[in-house]
Amino acid sequence: MTNQDTITESENLIHTQLLDGDNPESIRQAAIILKEKGLVAFPTETVYGLGGDALDENAAAKIYAAKGRPSDNPLIVHIADTDAVYKLAKEVPDKAKLLMEAFWPGPLTIILPKKEIVPDGTTGGLNTVAIRMPSHPVALSLIRESGLYIAAPSANTSGRPSPTLADHVMEDMKGRIEMILDGGAVGIGIESTIVDLTSEVPVILRPGFITKSMLEEIVGKVTIDPALIEPDPNLRPKAPGMKYTHYAPKGELTIVEGASNASTKGANKVITKINQLVLEKANSGFKVAVITTSENANLFDCENILVAGDREKGETIAAKLYKVLRQCDELDVDYIYSEAFNDGELGGAIMNRLLKAAGHRVIKV
């Protein structure tokens, strides 16, 4: 972890400090910035967040500007104690209370009808508000020390992969925000599960580490926003952010998926196909990368083989995925071929991100 590392910027850019998030003095300084309506990026257990005062229109506007985020894409409000939910939300149904009790602090965001005090600037004009209590100690300390509710989208430039390291935040936000709290690598690596609780049956608006079956164990039937299941131009996702292309590396990413994904036969076909595509592009003078897992890494013939965890352990793929997508940009590759990672409980959440990064370009073999 970096200690006191200060980066000086040219005239019209803000000076972005990088401080150790484990140091109480850093938290104190960060809280002052937030109270003065400035912006601080901080680690959460999912990805790094870009924080500002959630009840202040100007701070919200600064967040949108720093990210280059479309203003109809609302922000999640981060809190450190459950009482805050009753200050921000008009109604808190029993199912919300049960989910809060089961999964908070943790990677679950709930959507509830908003109270007046939550400005339209934070909710993108919606009459609902997204609320989450993160479990990361740095995030919790910062919320408590500031005494604020903190609006915090992922701390990346809009469209880029979410940051899972303080370095990623620096890449995107240097000169645009006052401070970054370094908490090392995040634990989960993909954004929170979002559940809409404004209808009788809760609806998943964004898949994440907390899966449908985990939610159903607590509150019974849960559905998934149909717009998430198949890309369909006639269906508009209920979470405005889900309609945007996201996480996309600069090179063209294609997913190569086996018809029988889990079987050896399917896997062999995928490897053969990817090797063939790599050879074609390399022969034409392009720089190519392959995204795979540790099990298959030595089966590819490519100069850039990027390993996103172990296929057997979905959580290791989630933790590495965005880092690997950012590496594609660092390597400046023209074409990227990735295996599909559908397996296991986290497969849906991982593939939701990978498909967006690939602009839904999939070759089935």
Q: Are 174 and 307 in contact (CB under 8 A)?
A: no
Beta bridge partners of 29: none
**Taking Cα atoms as reference points, which of 47, 40, 52 lies closest to residue 78?**
52
3-state secondary structure of 94: helix
CB nearer to Mg ion: give 154 or 316. 154
Task: Name the pairing type of β-strands 203-206 and 193-196.
Answer: antiparallel
Q: Is residue 194 close enough to count as binding ligand AMP by CB under 6 A?
A: yes
CB nearer to ligand AMP: give 125 or 147. 125
Within residues 128-157, the interface with Mg ion by CB under 5 A covers 154
Stretch that binds ligand AMP, among 91-99, 239-247, 314-322, 343-351 (CB under 6 A): 239-247
**Residues touching ligand AMP: how many (CB under 6 A)?**
21
CB nearer to ligand AMP: give 212 or 238. 238
Residue in the block written with tokens 């300084």: 29
CB nearer to Mg ion: give 92 or 170. 170
Q: Which of 128, 141, 164, 211 binds ligand AMP (CB under 6 A)?
A: 128
Q: Which of 31, 129, 219, 277 binds ligand AMP (CB under 6 A)?
A: 129
Q: Is residue 74 close enough to count as binding ligand AMP by CB under 6 A?
A: yes
Q: Is residue 191 close enough to count as binding ligand AMP by CB under 6 A?
A: yes
Q: How many CB atoms lie within 10 A of CB 189?
A: 25
Q: Which of 16, 17, 123, 193 binds ligand AMP (CB under 6 A)?
A: 123
Q: Which of 26, 44, 154, 316 binds ligand AMP (CB under 6 A)?
A: 154
**Taking Cα atoms as reference points, which of 336, 291, 68, 23 lies closest to residue 182?**
23
CB nearer to ligand AMP: give 175 or 240. 240
Q: Is residue 188 close enough to count as binding ligand AMP by CB under 6 A?
A: no
Q: What is the full DSSP assignment across 116-151?
A: TTS-HHHHTT-SEEEEE----HHHHHHHHHHTS-EE
Which spans in the chain are helix H? 24-35, 57-67, 83-88, 94-103, 120-123, 137-146, 166-173, 212-219, 226-229, 264-283, 314-331, 347-357
Q: Which of 60, 143, 205, 321 binds ligand AMP (CB under 6 A)?
A: 205
Q: Are 159 and 322 in contact (CB under 8 A)?
A: no
Contacting residues toward Mg ion, per CB under 5 A: 154
Contacting residues toward ligand AMP, per CB under 6 A: 73-76, 111, 123, 126, 128-130, 153-154, 191, 194, 205-206, 238-242
